[in-house]
Amino acid sequence: MLARLSPTRRLVIASLLMTAGNGAFATCSAIYFTRVGGLTLTEMGLGLTIACALGLVVGVPLGHLADRRGPQRVAVLLVALNGVAASGYLLVRGFPVFVLMACLFTAAQRGSRAAQQALIARLVGGDEVVRTQARVRSMNNVGIGVGAAGASIALQIGTATAFSAVIIVNALGFFASAAMLATLPPVPPAPDSPPDEPRWAVFRDGPFAVFTALGAVLALHTVLLEIVLPLWITRYTHASTALVTVLFVLNTVSVVLFQVRIGVRVTTMPSAVRAFRWSGVALCAACGVFAASAGGSPLVSSVLLVLAGALHVGGELLVSAASWHITFSLAPAGKQGQYQGFAMTGYATAMMLAPTLLTVLVVQGGPPGWLVLGGAFLLSVLPAGAVVAWAERTRRTQAVPQPADPAGATHDRAGEVAPQNSADAR
C-alpha cells in the first residue's frame, strides 16, 4: 500500500498523524498539568515561556543540520524525539521535570518543522512546493479537529488515567509520523558551501530578515481566534458566546476547503507578492469589522463577527500561500533548512509576544486597539514588493526549489538532469 502512495501523500499522512495527537493533547494539556502534574498556572506559564525562548534559538541550527545530514534523516530523528518528549509528560509531577520535557518537546518540534520544510523543498520541488504545503496545512486542520474531538472524551471522564491516555496517543502519533517519513525516498545532504560563502548565510541575508519580520507582524493574527476573540465577544458585544465556536468552525472548514485552491494559484513571485499584500488588506478589514461589532444588537454583532471571521480566514489563507512561495524561493540551494528555521523563528517570536501584546492592545484597549492592529497589518505588507526586489538583486533566484532525486541530482524545468552541486537557475 505504501509503495502506491506518492511522496506528497506520505508527507500529508505523516502530518495528519502528528497533528491529530497534538490536537488532542493541546485540548486538555492545561488541565492535565495543573490537576495531575501539580503545577500552578504561574509555573505552567513560566515553563512554557522558557521552552519557547529555547525554541527561538534552535530552529536555524537544527535546520542547518538537516541541510548537512539530509532532511529526511533529520526529520525522522526529530519527529521521533518529539514522541519521546511527549511521552515524558507522563513523568511530570512538578516544575523541574515539566521545564525539562517542555524544552525538549519545543526544541524537537522547532527543528523537525525546519527539517520537514527542507524535505518538501528537496523531495517535491517545482510548482508542487506550495501545493504540498497547502495540502499539509489543510490536513493539519483536519487532524487538530479530530484530535480535539477525541480529547473531549477525556475531558468528560476527567481522570488521570484518561489524560494519560491522551498523552500516550500524542506520543504514538509522533512515532507513527516518524515511521511514515522514514518510508520516503532518502534525500542526500546538500553539497558543502563554497569556501567564500558564510556557513550561516541566513544571518547575513538582510532582505530575508526584513521579510521574516514583516511576516512576524502578520503572524499576530494567529492568536486572535484562540485568545482575543473569546474575551472580546464576552466583554464588548451582545452576541452569544457560541459565536466563538462558530468562528472556530468557519476558520477550520475554510482552511480545509480553500487552502489548496489558493495555494495552487500562487505560482510566481509577482503572484506571491500580490497575495501577501492582499492578505494585509483582508486582515486590516477584519480588524475594522471586529471593532464595529462592539455594542449594537445581538443580531448585528453576530453578523459583523461572522463577516470579520470570513475576512480573517481569507487573509490567513493568502498570507500562508504567499509566505511559502517567497521563503522557499529566496532560500539558496542547499540552505533550505536553515532558512526555513529562521523564518519559523520569526513566527515563534510573534507567537510568544502575541498573547500579552494583543490582550493589552485589543481586550483592554477596546475598538481603537483593533484599528491600531489593522493598521499594523496593512503597513507590514506595503514594503513586500520592494523587499522581494531587494532580495532578487542580491541573489540569483529560481521560481521555486527543484526536487532532488535519490541519486543526488536535481531536475530543471525542462526535465533535464543537472548535478546537484551546480548553480540552480535563478
Our CA angle for 24, 26, 32, nearest 5°, is: 95
Query: Which of 182, 209, 225 is the endpoint of a domain?
Result: 182
Q: What is the model's pTM?
A: 0.84
Q: Are residues 218 and 353 in the same domain?
A: yes
Question: What CATH number is given to the structural domain containing 94?
Answer: 1.20.1250.20
Q: Could you give the CA distance from residue 321 to residue 386 in angstroms, rounded to a whole number?
A: 19
Q: Could you give the CA distance from residue 88 to residue 237 in angstroms, rounded to a whole number?
A: 42
Specify if 260 maps to a domain: yes
Q: Are residues 169 and 229 in the same domain?
A: no
Query: Which of 149, 182, 215 is the endpoint of a domain?
Result: 182
Q: Are residues 162 and 84 in the same domain?
A: yes
Strand pairing partners for 417?
A: 411
pLDDT digits (tens, 9 = 90+) for 70-99: 999 999 999 999 999 999 999 999 999 999
Q: Are residues 290 and 351 in the same domain?
A: yes
Specify if 416 maps to a domain: no
- State which amino acid sits at residue 399: A
Q: H helices of 70-205, where? A: 71-88, 95-123, 128-157, 160-182
Give the contacts of 213 (CB within 8 A, at least 6 positions apart). Answer: 346
Do the beta carbons of residue 379 and residue 386 sit within 8 Å?
no
Q: Are residues 39 and 129 in the same domain?
A: yes
Q: Are residues 104 and 11 in the same domain?
A: yes
Of 229, 223, 204, which Cα lies nearest the Cα of 350?
A: 223
Burial class (CB in 10 A: 0-12, 13-18, 19+), 193: middle
Of 110, 60, 80, which Cα lies nearest the Cα of 18?
A: 80
Q: Could you give the CA distance from residue 136 to residue 242 in angstroms, rounded to a whole number?
A: 29
The whole domain housing 68 covers 2-182
Burial class (CB in 10 A: 0-12, 13-18, 19+), 237: buried
Specify if 362 maps to a domain: yes
Specify if 155 maps to a domain: yes
Specify if 354 maps to a domain: yes
Within 10 angstroms of residue 153's Cβ, the number of other Cβ atoms is 13
Of 276, 289, 279, 282, which Cα lies nearest the Cα of 311?
A: 282
Q: Are residues 160 and 230 in the same domain?
A: no
Q: Reduce the DSSP state of residue 188 to 3 states and report it.
A: coil
Q: Are residues 54 and 178 in the same domain?
A: yes
Q: Are residues 77 and 106 in the same domain?
A: yes
> How confident is the prediction along the chain (426 residues), in pLDDT tens digits per residue?
666 788 889 999 999 999 998 888 988 888 899 889 999 988 988 898 899 889 888 999 999 999 989 999 999 999 999 999 999 999 999 999 999 999 999 999 999 999 998 998 888 866 688 889 999 999 988 988 888 888 888 888 889 999 999 999 999 999 999 999 999 988 888 776 666 666 778 998 999 999 999 999 999 999 898 889 988 999 999 998 888 889 988 999 999 999 999 998 998 999 999 999 999 999 999 999 999 999 889 999 999 999 999 999 999 999 999 999 999 999 887 898 999 999 999 888 998 888 889 989 999 999 999 999 999 999 999 999 999 999 988 875 444 555 555 444 333 323 322 323 333 333
Q: Are residues 149 and 54 in the same domain?
A: yes
Q: Are residues 243 and 363 in the same domain?
A: yes
Q: Are residues 116 and 170 in the same domain?
A: yes
Domains identified in the chain, total number:
2
